[in-house]
Amino acid sequence: MEGAIPELDHRFELPGTAQVVEGNGGLSKVRITCPEAVGEMYLHGAHVTSWKPVGGEEVLFLSSQSRWAQGHAIRGGVPVCFPWFGGKADDPTAPAHGFVRTRAWQLESIAQVGGAVTVSMFTESDEGTKRWWPAEFRLVHRATFGSELSLELVVTNTGGTSLRFEEALHAYHRVGNIEKTRVRGLDTVHYFDKTDSNRKKMQHGEIVIVSETDRVYLDTRDAIELEDPVLRRRTRVTKEDSRTTVVWNPWVQKAHSLSDFADDEWMQMICIESSNVSDFAVDLAPGQQYKMKALVRVANF
C-alpha cells in the first residue's frame, strides 16, 4: 500500500491543490486544498471524510473511534452503500450496506473546476463481488469539493442481464447538539420506522430527534433543510434521481452498542441520506447507466 501512494500522487496530484497522501491506518487518501474548500476522500470505500467550505467549520461528522483498517467501514463522513441497504434480505451473513464501502477503489481522475476540485473513483465487479452478488457493474463516485459539496454515484450495468440495486450516500452531518437540531422538508411524507417493526407512518411537521431514529422516507424529491442553532448554520441537501431519504441517529443505547462510536458522539451527528432503497430500488437493463446526485450547501446565521 505504501508504495502505491507516491505513484498515485505522481500520476494524479495537482500541485498545491490536491495530493494523494497516507491517511489514518496507512490508508490512501486524496487531500484537497482549493480556493473554495478543504476536504479529504479515501480510496477505502471512495469515502468522503471531510468537507470544510472556506470560512466555515467542518460539515461532516467523523467518529473518534472509527476503525481505519481493511475490512472495516469508516464511521462517519459519507459511506457509499451499494448494492443493498441495511442487511441483505436473502443472506444474513452478507456485509451490511453492501460490499463497496470496505473495498479499495481506484482513482480515476482529479480535476480543478474553477475554485473547486472534483475527485472521481471507481470500482467494478470481480470474483470478490460475485461471491455476494452475481451482477456485473461499474460504479463511480464523483465528489466535487467547493463552496458546495456535490456527490454523484453512477452505476453502469456492464453485464448481459438486467440488475436491481439499492444505493445510499450515507452522509453524517456534524451538529452542535442533536436535541436542538431541526430537520425540515419532509412534512406529510410517509416513512418506514425501522425502530418500530418497519411500520409505515406519516411525518407531521419538522423532525425533532428525541430517541433512536431510523426512518426511510418514501418518494421524496424536495430539498431537506437541517437547522443547527448551536453551530449557527443551515445545511440544505438537494438531490436528483433519488426517491428515498433516510434519517438516522442511534441515540444513547445504540451508540453504546457500536464499538466504533464514542458513547456521547450521538449528540454531535445526524445522518441525512440521499438514496434509492426499499420499494424504490433501481432496475437497470444491460448497458444502461443510472446517476444519483446529492448537493450540500451550508449557510451561517
Catalytic positions = 170, 273
Q: What does the block give as the cell for 110?
A: 482529479
Report which of 276, 175, 296 is spatially closest to residue 216, judged by C-alpha positions.
276
Q: Which amino acid is at 264?
A: D
Residue with grid cell 474548500, as numbered in its chain? 37
Classify strands 182-184 and 137-145 as parallel, antiparallel or unpaired. Answer: unpaired
CA–CA gap between residue 293 and residue 241 (Å, rounded)? 7
Q: What does the block give as the cell for 291?
A: 446517476
Where b means 16+ CB within 10 Å and e means fewer, 16-25 reads eebbbeebbe
- Residue 83: which residues within 8 A CB-CB, separation 6 or more? 98, 100, 133, 135, 137, 163, 165, 166, 167
Q: What does the block give as the cell for 270?
A: 445526524
* DSSP codes joined into one string, 281-292: PEEE-TT-EEEE
- Residue 187: which residues within 8 A CB-CB, separation 6 or more? 203, 204, 205, 206
* H/E segment holding residue 7: helix 4-12
* H/E segment holding residue 95: none
Classify strands 224-228 and 199-202 as parallel, antiparallel or unpaired. Answer: unpaired
